[in-house]
Amino acid sequence: MLRQLSARFGGPLAAAILVLLGIWLIVMVTLPQLQMIDYSLRPNLLPDQRGGLEDGWTLANYATLFANDIHRTIFFKTLWSSVLVTLLTLAVSYPLAWYLAKVATPRQAALCILLLIIPFWINEILRTYSWFIILAFRGPLNEVLMMLGLIDRPIRFLSGDAGVMVGMVYAYILFMVFPVYNAIESLDDNQVRAARDLGAGTLRTHRRIVIPHAKPGIATGCIMTFMLAAGSYAVPALLGSPGSRWFTQIIYNWFFEGGNWNQGAAYAFLLLVLCIGFMSLVMRIFRVGLGDIAK
Amino acid sequence: MSSRTLMALALRGYVVVFFAYLFLPLAIMAAATFNDSRFPTVTPWDGTTLRWFGELAADGAMWQALGNSLLVAAGVLLLAVPIGIATALFLNSVSSRAKPFLYALILSPLLTPGVIIGISTLIFWRQWGVGGGVFLTVLGQATFIAAYVMLMVTARLQRFDRTLERAALDLGASPWQAFRRILLPFLKPAILSAAVIAFLQSFENYNTTLFVVGYDTTLTVYIASKVRTGLTPAVNALGLILILVTVLLAVAYEVKRRREAVAPPR
């Protein structure tokens, strides 16, 4: 590798490239992850107990999740809610992606994409906070619903999982729109036209032509959205309540309130396994590789 | 009316609703800034005021958090941009059997939840006695932002005509001269765009930052803590300012990017 690099860039630059890459992949990416796993496998000991009799690898920190009903429930709730957020986001994004890629004129599409990018660049915290205002007990949504006579009393939107999920769809939607749009855009218009000429209806055209072609984009969008939803701290912290905690909040508490980093590391690793598991599943279902995802 | 026209109309209606959904929340948040109410809301409207901007400007903690955010972003730029460029050059020049594995490793920070990057960084540096703070925040954020930089530089690198480089070498340029005078100028637009994205990613990051920031505060951490304790419309004033800055940056960035897309690559 060094030979190929120095043939192109010369020795010093090749060395600099390898040093930077090494620092990143070893010191910033790999070693911290390994250290986290090591931590998760050790008991939480006082400094003077380290290296003593009790110090050794154990799965006790992982067993905690299965022994603790509340934590286990929250773990699975986080899993299902994130799947639901992912599916909702896909359902909301797909028609827009289709419109942008195949229906809109180039000028319309360019304008729409600019309009999409603007909220995308705005802070996740601020995007979530805007829903905090809308969903508040005496906020505009309740006022409008009461004015329309749909409800008699304001609803506490901010005390359940529904508020969190609405906020997540809003916060992560563009991670779905863009990959799906890019994938649909590369579809040859003639294929759609041919399907129509041969008598396929709208639904059939999408099911048999557009969706199969857009698979890599759909897979990428789903993987990103799920990862962001399951790993979100901001949205549940702002829009949730103590009754609708997210798994990331449990992890946070182990670190900064429980003071048990080993336990926190085990939970963090479980969250990572969850995300990797979802990713592998999606990649298998859609038959796509890692190369398709980074496009 | 045929069913196809009906579908087309429905789709257009959907697009309008979608953009309303995208912008209405932000508009409501912005409007609440000007409501003379102790709590940020638009219902009821208690009169129009500008006083929340004044309250925001008088908040020393906010200025401190802003300073930290800028400091962190500067550190991330210094670290993530060179790493991202180096990685893109590496992937573009090397063919080896280890490459698929390395590529997976390089992409992994993008597919890892931000909280986990924060946690692993925090744990790793504890053994060297480095606790949470601005320094760890830079390291944690740069870990995944470098991957974004790599993707953006790679995209442009793939359009590079390597015969130019070979011609320079044949004409007697040193590899460093060929890099400095041929490849680097070609990559410059992508590097600048990547720097803008890296800055914004850093500035708006919350999930990773939360775990590595220690007792320091960045602007996002400040906003989140304000929302949970001591919420006033001053937060909206800050939000409105950030949105305006972001919109200006986004439009400038897009205009620049499109100009480049129209102009043929040199």
B103/A contact by beta carbon, under 8 A:
yes
Determine, yes or no, domain membership for B118: yes
Q: Which residues of A touch B109 (CB under 8 A)?
A: 29
Q: Which residues of B touch A275 (CB under 8 A)?
A: 111-113
pLDDT tops 70 at residue A53: no
Determine, yes or no, domain membership for B200: yes
Decide if A231 and B11 are in contact by the 8 Å CB cutoff.
no
Q: How confident is the model at residue B266 (pLDDT cuts 50, 70, 90)?
A: very low
Determine, yes or no, domain membership for B79: yes
Q: Note whether A41 and A59 are within 8 A (CB).
A: yes
Which CATH architecture best describes the domain A69-293? Orthogonal Bundle (1.10)
Q: Which long-range contacts (CB under 8 A, 24 or more apart) does B160-168 make?
A: B160/B92, B160/B186, B160/B187, B165/A8
User: How high is the pLDDT of residue B136?
Assistant: 93
User: How high is the pLDDT of residue A26?
Assistant: 94
CB atoms within 10 A of CB B263: 9
Check residue A157 and report its DSSP letter.
G
Q: Which residues of B touch A1 (CB under 8 A)?
A: 90, 94, 96, 98
Q: Which residues of A touch B96 (CB under 8 A)?
A: 1, 4
Residue with tokens 């043939």: A7
Q: Can you tell me the mean pLDDT for B10-21? A: 89
Determine, yes or no, domain membership for B238: no
B86/A contact by beta carbon, under 8 A:
yes
ipTM, 2 dp? 0.87
* pLDDT tens-digit map of A247-277: 999 999 888 888 888 888 999 999 999 999 9
Residue of A17, A19, A24, A227 to mutate when probing chain B, most B C-beta within 10 A? A24
> How far is the C-alpha of B134 from the C-alpha of A186, rounded, in Å?
43
User: How high is the pLDDT of residue A286?
Assistant: 85
Q: How confident is the model at residue B261 (pLDDT cuts 50, 70, 90)?
A: low
CA distance B43 to chain A (A): 6
Q: Can you tell me the mean pLDDT for A1-15? A: 82
What is the C-alpha radius of gyration for chain A, rounded to an integer number of angstroms? Answer: 24
CA distance A69 to chain B (A): 23
Q: 3-state DSSP helix/strand/coil percent for chain A, to nearest 5?
A: 80, 0, 20
Domain count, chain B: 1
User: How high is the pLDDT of residue A91?
Assistant: 93
Average pLDDT value over all residues in chain B: 86
Determine, yes or no, domain membership for B65: yes
Query: So where are chain A's domains?
Result: 69-293
Q: Can you tell me the mean pLDDT for B117-139? A: 91
Determine, yes or no, domain membership for B18: no
More confident residue, A50 or B235: B235
- CATH number of the structural domain spanning residue B138: 1.10.3720.10
- Domain limits for position B111: 61-231
CA distance A129 to chain B (A): 8
User: How high is the pLDDT of residue B78?
Assistant: 95
Q: Which residues of chain A from 130 to 149 reach within 8 Å of chain B, CB to CB?
A: 130-134, 136, 138-140, 143
* pLDDT tens-digit map of A68-93: 888 888 999 999 999 999 999 999 99
